[in-house]
Amino acid sequence: MANKNIKRPEELLKIMKASSIGDACFTHIIGYIREGMTEKQIAGEIEETLKKMGSQGLAFPTIFVSGQNGADPHGSPTDKRIEEGDMLTMDFGAVIDGYCGDMTRTVALGSISSEKQKAYETVLKAQEKALSLCRPGIKCFDIDKAARDIIEKAGYGENFIHGTGHGVGREVHEEPYINNKAGDEDILAENMAITIEPGIYIPGRFSIRIEDLAIISGFGIINTVKSEKKLLIL
């Protein structure tokens, strides 16, 4: 693994600060969202809030998608108005001195079906299992498999259409890549910064993704994202 993927303490502190700004932005945005707003309107508020809170730019263009628009993991916000029963997925990141944050949360607008609740609990279970395995020396493939097995067992295997995570630093996507194509040499090491972000995408209906940014420590992880992961109903 390239040495650039093992971060110095001062680099990790910048990533942690970027994550703390992301958490504060999420707290603001869940109080801001109202039925009838457009995806673009809410994405714009996220980006303005990140900057007001000290972000020196954006780690990547903000993703805010709702309902059927969520089926593309990297979908762009549109003029669609959010409505009762939508799952709202938001993925964004602050930047501090060139170092990126990256977090995703999915929330519900009003009452949702039992199917959506089941899918959410499945993603959360997979995400927490994958996080629990992260430590120096573990293979990236094994982390991905643990998350993927949970989603497949719940009947959503074909709806998990990307890897479980990736490294983060000056680039928001960098090695190591935590997916089912990772080789034996793709192993976590102390002081790497990685995301864990399984998801379920139902074409034409809804999506769910939960993402944290974790630092690999000698004993496991330091999760730099503190925002609530239990399903929030707005």
Of 89, 93, 47, 92, nearest in space to 72 by CA: 89
Q: What is the pTM of this model?
A: 0.96
Per-residue confidence (pLDDT) for residue 28, from 0 to 100: 98
User: Is-cis flag, bond preceding 176, omega within 30?
Assistant: yes
Written as one string, the DSSP assignment of 111-152 is ---HHHHHHHHHHHHHHHHHHHH-STT-BHHHHHHHHHHHHH
Per-residue confidence (pLDDT) for residue 135, from 0 to 100: 97
Give CA–CA dist 202/49, Å, rounded.
30
Structure tokens at 150: 């949970």
What amino acid occupies position 81?
A: R
Per-residue confidence (pLDDT) for residue 16, from 0 to 100: 98
Among the four given CATH numbers 3.40.228.10, 3.40.47.10, 3.90.230.10, 3.40.50.300, the one describing domain 3-223:
3.90.230.10
Helix, strand, coil in percent for the chain, rounding step 5: 35, 25, 40
Spatial contact of 214 and 221, defined as CB atoms under 8 Å apart = yes
- In three-state secondary structure terms, 99 is strand
Beta bridge partners of 100: 95
Per-residue confidence (pLDDT) for residue 4, from 0 to 100: 64
Spatial contact of 211 and 104, defined as CB atoms under 8 Å apart = yes
Q: What is the pLDDT along the chain (234 residues), one digit of tens a residue?
A: 445 699 999 999 999 999 999 999 999 999 999 999 999 999 999 999 999 999 999 999 999 999 999 988 889 999 999 999 999 999 999 999 999 999 999 999 999 999 999 999 999 999 999 999 999 999 999 999 999 999 999 999 999 999 999 999 999 999 999 999 999 999 999 999 999 999 999 999 999 999 999 999 998 999 999 999 999 999
